[in-house]
């Protein structure tokens, strides 16, 4: 499992004192107010930043990081992703999973492995699992109880209900 999880995208700066306008990936924002530290990934390295404050509203989250004190410094971070230690991520509810945990799960139908989750695409009604089959084809599986029978995070396996999504 990934030790760090992506939680938001820095959209732009806000004001002249280095505040960042951030979009939460999960849609949840309450956990941001408890953050003491976040990371920005540069290549293979995670650069830590101390969180000074979090404000704004659900739709317009404002984050102030230590040593980012001007509009220009904040603008240089536009487009970067904020990462946190797994323990600081938004708590999961029933039938919720971190995208990072679903990626690379093997996918099964009727006891046979059919492929592996390549990525998860955030969708409107439901998220979509992009699965690469053993034959190298890509199939899209709605992440919904109608299509997903079981998820075993210990074994990193996802079992499908329906076979009509399989080519």
pLDDT band for position 130 (cuts 50, 70, 90): very high
pLDDT band for position 167 (cuts 50, 70, 90): low
Q: Is the pLDDT of residue 45 over 70?
A: yes
Mean pLDDT computed over 29-39: 91
Q: Is the pLDDT of residue 100 over 70?
A: yes
What pTM, to 2 d.p., does this model score? 0.76
Instruction: Please report the pLDDT score of residue 94 as a whole number.
Output: 79
Residue 166, CA distances (Å) to 77, 131, 144 in order = 41, 10, 15
Percent of the chain residues past pLDDT 70, beyond the cut: 93
β-bridge partners, 112? 109
Percent of the chain residues past pLDDT 90, beyond the cut: 60
Instruction: Please report the pLDDT score of residue 60 as a whole number.
Output: 77
Lowest mean pLDDT among 41-55, 64-78, 142-156: 142-156
Instruction: Please report the pLDDT score of residue 84 as a whole number.
Output: 95
Instruction: Please report the pLDDT score of residue 1 as a whole number.
Output: 58
pLDDT band for position 163 (cuts 50, 70, 90): low
Q: Which structure tokens are listed for 155?
A: 């074994």
Sort 73 into a burial class: Cβ within 10 Å, 0-12 / 13-18 / 19+: middle
Q: Is the pLDDT of residue 5 over 80?
A: yes
Instruction: Please report the pLDDT score of residue 83 as a whole number.
Output: 95
What is the pLDDT of the chain when averaged over all its residues?
89
pLDDT 10s digits, 82-96: 999 988 888 888 778
CA–CA separation, 44 and 141 (whole Å): 31
Q: Is the pLDDT of residue 26 over 90?
A: no
């Amino acid at each position: 499992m990934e030790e760090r999880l992506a939680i938001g995208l820095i959209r732009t700066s806000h004001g002249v004192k280095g505040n960042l306008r951030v979009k939460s990936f999960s849609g949840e924002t309450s956990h941001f107010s408890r953050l003491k530290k976040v990371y920005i990934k540069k290549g293979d390295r995670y650069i830590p930043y101390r969180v000074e404050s979090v404000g704004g509203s659900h739709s317009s989250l404002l984050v102030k990081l230590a040593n980012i004190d001007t509009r220009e410094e904040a603008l240089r971070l536009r487009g970067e992703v904020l990462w946190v230690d797994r323990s600081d991520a938004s708590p999961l509810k029933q039938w919720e999973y971190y995208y990072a945990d679903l990626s690379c799960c093997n996918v099964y139908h009727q006891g046979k492995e059919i492929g592996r989750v390549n990525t998860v695409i955030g969708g409107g009604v439901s998220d979509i699992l992009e699965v690469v089959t053993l034959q190298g084809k890509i199939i899209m599986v709605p992440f919904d109880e109608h299509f997903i029978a079981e998820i075993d995070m210990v074994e990193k396996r996802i079992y499908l209900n329906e076979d009509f999504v399989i080519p």
